[in-house]
Amino acid sequence: MAPAAAPAAPAAPKSDEKAEQKAEKKSADVKPQAVTKELPVNYAAQLTGYWCGPAATRIAMSSKTGELPSQAALAKELGTTENGTDHVGQVADGLNKLLAPTGTHYVAKDLSSREVSPEMTKELWDDTVRNIDSGKAMVANIVAPPGNQPPGYPSSQTIYHYVSVVGYDADKKNVKIADPANFGGNKEYWLSLDQLTSLVQPRGYVA
């Protein structure tokens, strides 16, 4: 049998490997290109009570193309019914199909099985900065209960909704929202990164 000390040789490289991985992870952090950045988008309020998914998708699309389908056409494309758009995956699939000529690609991030954490908050921030800096708006599926709602929302009920993420403020760690519901005339507003994380955690977003 080999002496107990024999396997110790690879230990140093393992430690170095960990250090390198940590350094790589640190260097991979997304750095904003600007203090504040907002994308110009074509805003339109949702035309029915259940077309927030298509409307938010249309707003996000407008950051990449001027050829925009109607909300009705998008509702059909996304599989939206009177119960709404069930899952962020439907939004990602629709965006990828319709924006294929532009080379734009979206990924659906279902957060429903995860707890809110610093890692989730950082992931959302990095995705936001990366996408906004590349000129690509995002779509978030939020759950807004009484006591944790964006401005203008009916405070007596929980709102299940889709919004577009169209900008960031790196100093304040705020995120710019274009909201197709237009509750109280609030078409666009800023949310803290922490609040947006808590709003998207039950469902998810596309980035």
pLDDT in tens, 150-203: 999 999 999 999 999 999 999 999 999 999 999 999 999 999 999 999 999 999
Encoded tokens for 136: 């690509």
CA distance 178 to 43: 7
- For residue 191, the cross-strand partners are 175
CATH superfamily of 37-206: Cysteine proteinases (3.90.70.10)
Predicted confidence band of residue 32 (pLDDT cuts 50, 70, 90): confident
Residue 162 identity (one-letter amino acid):
Y
What average pLDDT does range 107-119 have in this prediction?
98
Closest CA to 175 of 54, 32, 55: 32
Closest CA to 61 of 164, 162, 140, 141: 164
Predicted confidence band of residue 11 (pLDDT cuts 50, 70, 90): very low
CA distance 87 to 204: 8
Closest CA to 77 of 69, 87, 67: 69
Q: Between β-strands 108-110 and 204-206, what pairing exists: parallel, antiparallel or unpaired?
A: antiparallel
User: Residue ranges per domain, the chain?
Assistant: 37-206
Closest CA to 102 of 135, 138, 54: 135
Q: Pick 93 or 1 by higher pLDDT.
A: 93
- Provide the 8-state DSSP code for 142: E
Residue 197 identity (one-letter amino acid):
T
Instruction: Determine contact, residues 176/168, Cβ cutoff 8 Å.
Output: yes
Rg (C-alpha) for the chain, rounded Å, is 20
pLDDT for res 9: 35
Query: Would you say residue 120 has pLDDT above 70?
Result: yes
Residues with Cβ within 8 Å of residue 168, at least 6 apart in sequence: 32, 36, 37, 125, 128, 129, 132, 174, 175, 176
What average pLDDT does range 79-89 have in this prediction?
97
Collapse the DSSP code of 183 into the 3-class scheme (helix H, G, I; strand E, B; otherwise coil) and give the result. Answer: helix
Average pLDDT, the chain: 89
pLDDT for res 13: 35
The gap from C-alpha 88 to its chain's centroid, in whole angstroms, comes to 10
